[in-house]
Chain A
Amino acid sequence: MQPEAQAPDAQARGALEVAVLVSIGRHPLTGRARRADQDARGVELAMSLDKSRITLVHAGVLDEESEGALRGYLGMGFQALTLVEQPPGADVIPALASALSEAKPQLVITGERAEQGEGSGLLPYLLAERLGWPMVSGLANVEKVENGVATLLQALPRGQRRRLQVRLPAIVTVDGAASAARQSAYGPARRGEMRLAEAPAVFDEASNDWTVQAARKRPKRLKIVKAASARDRFKAAAAKAEGGGGQVLSDVTPEQGAEAIYKLLKEEAVLR
């Protein structure tokens, strides 16, 4: 499937230039390289914008494993992907910043954090600081883009949404609440082209001093009982987990029951 925006005649003036920064993900169980989930959602979000011209940008190494993962993005319906070649262990922010300031996209979409490496989620913030663009995190959707102003929907906890307006150019990150990425088709993924770009490499020196190991299970927090007397300590140790003391209303009319439920719902402030 080829999005209309990719067709040459749609590349007229007025088309929204969107750059999606994609990274190489890591399958949580097998550990194999794959397209990163959040970045794929970002690509999906970009494809849902009408009249947009999307460039996929990746900065990193080109080898067999990463190429397979990157072709996963191409299989979503793209002809090319810009690959800024960087040696392993390089700090990709200068390279990406120069690539973006050259390409001058209106909107830059990324995932929240990488699935391998440090995965600190700092990249969009550092890019925004370097380019002087505003940055919005945790998007669920982009509602519209008009006159250089984008209206965004930010995902809040419990399925709530917040509407924001941001002046373009801007960098946004997508949340897990954004719509899931479409499947990657094998044929287009094979046919897609990797456009290589050169950029000077800046090495990340600080991370050489770190020790990285597989995540340990975090210790469960113990319930600390600070009791002055033995009796209190015994009571705390022997206490039942839950005392069940709920209120039971039997032999009431439906109206009385409804009244009690209404009171509780009001107290909990779930009624709007």
Chain B
Amino acid sequence: MTEILRRDPRKEWIARNRLHPEHERVLFELGQGTAVATEWMGPNGVIRKNPHGLGFIGPNGIKRIDRSGVQQAPTAGRGAGHSTTTADDRRHVEIEAPAFLVAVVPDMPGGRLSSHDRDLLGLARQLADADSERQGAVLAVVFGSHKEDGFGEAGVDRLLHLDEEVFDGYTPETRLAALSAIERELAPYYWLLPDSKLGGADLGRRLAARIQERPATGVWQIEMDDTCELGWRCTARGAAGTTDIQRALPRVALALSECAEPVSETRHAAQPMALSQALPSQLGRIEDLGQVAVDPAGVALAEAEFILSAGNGVKDWDGFHHAAKVLGATEGASRVAVDDGFMPRHRQVGATGTWVTARVYLAVGISGAIQHLQGIQSCEKVIAVNLDPGCDMIKRADLAVIGDSAKVLAALVDLVAQQREEKRDAA
């Protein structure tokens, strides 16, 4: 059997002719089943289409054409080069010998790239890809263990993963030593860090002070400008965000979030890299003693992570306070509960009180006035416990329990206490 693809013009003709008595059999032979060929190469090299082959007969006997390709079986096209894979059509980019490196140090909160990190990688790609003659590569420097597997999709060409225990916790001095080792060995053309508190903002300023570069901080826009030294001009926020400073882009830049669009059209290699020399051991003058247990009642309502909020439906206030204590939640209240004197004014949630940003908001006996719902707009998960199944809070909630709030809270407290007891016994 030779590799040459033989065409049978007669069979192709029969396959095109729907009225031919052998049409179905020939189609089957050509491996197209009952599907009708809709597109083929004509004898003169022109693409021919059969508009009648498209679509399907709908329930009312009318032919429907669904171009989204959801309901229609994908018709196998003829000839090579016609790919039916639409799953991942992003261009794969591999940069073998980069002209320069753009180093990015993402924050990686929770071991994953945050949206700020992705924006920053998009900015790094702009810098690296500006000149197609001199293509640069984006180097991501990641400290400690991580859970991210989408570095390539985010636009990383080279990945330098420093996975050592010394980088755990708040260790700016060790990280700075590692970054200066990278600066000595790889000499990146640019250093980009997120201007985020306690993350890149701290580390980036330390790095700039160490390598004696004057950084641009709060950068939110860059554009090409040949009059500048490095060929780029940036716009940065100054004076606590009240002015815009236009200046030449320096080697070290700390960028705000949404400084560029994240990478979406290409996939990159994320090739692992390592430093040739081991990092020198560092005598740390700053010691991290770990996180401190914070009393949830003392946390400001606007920045609390988990809020247990009470409304008009709560009658058993002692039970409510006890539940907040057991769950470790910060207490909130609706306006009615505050007006009636059950809760202090600074605990009021809503447009007229505090706009909260909690990750989990547990609303007990709150029907959900529009002002209250506005105040909890940025909460991720809302749980509602209420007697009235038709109230607005239930519509907003991700999980709603219809029932008596006091009983549900008591059952929840029992459950949590019981689970803690079991854990203690097991330990």
| A positions within 8 Å CB-CB of B | 26, 28, 113-122, 125-126, 128-129, 134-138, 151, 153-154, 156-167, 170, 206, 209-216, 218, 221, 224, 226, 228-232, 244, 246-255, 257-262, 264-265, 268, 270-272
A226 to B66, CA, bound (A): 19
Residue B47 interfacial (CB < 8 Å): no
A270 to B401, CA, bound (A): 19
User: Are B210 and A268 neighbours in the complex by a CB distance under 8 Å?
Assistant: no
Q: How far is the CB of B310 from chain A (nearest CB, A)?
A: 15
User: Are A246 and B67 neighbours in the complex by a CB distance under 8 Å?
Assistant: no
A116 to B248, CA, bound (A): 20
A65 to B263, CA, bound (A): 48
User: Are B206 and A247 neighbours in the complex by a CB distance under 8 Å?
Assistant: no
A212 to B360, CA, bound (A): 42
Residue B12 interfacial (CB < 8 Å): no
Chain B facing A: main interface SS: mixed
A205 to B399, CA, bound (A): 60
A134 to B303, CA, bound (A): 29
B contact residues, total (Cβ < 8 Å): 85
What A residues does B288 contact at CB under 8 A?
Answer: 162-164
What A residues does B66 contact at CB under 8 A?
Answer: 231
Residue B407 interfacial (CB < 8 Å): yes
Q: How far is the CB of A145 from chain B (nearest CB, A)?
A: 15
User: Are A246 and B362 neighbours in the complex by a CB distance under 8 Å?
Assistant: no
Q: How far is the CB of A86 from chain B (nearest CB, A)?
A: 18
A81 to B134, CA, bound (A): 55
Choose among B205, B327, B403 the residue that contacts A254 (Cβ–Cβ < 8 A). B403
User: Are A261 and B399 neighbours in the complex by a CB distance under 8 Å?
Assistant: yes
Residue B238 interfacial (CB < 8 Å): yes
Which of B30-38, B159-167, B213-221 touches A? B213-221
Contact status of A159 and B205, CB under 8 A, knowing A119-B238, A261-B408: no
Chain A facing B: main interface SS: mixed
Choose among A113, A218, A271 the residue that contacts B328 (Cβ–Cβ < 8 A). A271
Which of B53-61, B76-84, B194-202, B346-354 touches A? B194-202
Residue B224 interfacial (CB < 8 Å): no
What B residues does A231 contact at CB under 8 A?
Answer: 66-68
A268 to B380, CA, bound (A): 10
A126 to B245, CA, bound (A): 21
Contact status of A268 and B415, CB under 8 A, knowing A136-B286, A162-B290: no
A261 to B303, CA, bound (A): 22
Contact status of A248 and B400, CB under 8 A, knowing A119-B240, A159-B300: yes
User: Are A228 and B86 neighbours in the complex by a CB distance under 8 Å?
Assistant: yes
User: Are B287 and A211 neighbours in the complex by a CB distance under 8 Å?
Assistant: no
What B residues does A221 contact at CB under 8 A?
Answer: 258
Q: How far is the CB of B421 from chain A (nearest CB, A)?
A: 14
Q: How far is the CB of A178 from chain B (nearest CB, A)?
A: 13
Q: Nearest 9 pairs between A and B by C-beta?
A: A258-B411, A257-B401, A159-B299, A254-B407, A258-B412, A129-B209, A250-B402, A270-B306, A163-B289
What A residues does B218 contact at CB under 8 A?
Answer: 120
Choose among A28, A121, A249, A255 the residue that contacts B242 (Cβ–Cβ < 8 A). A28
Which of B144-152, B182-190, B269-277, B381-389 touches A? B381-389
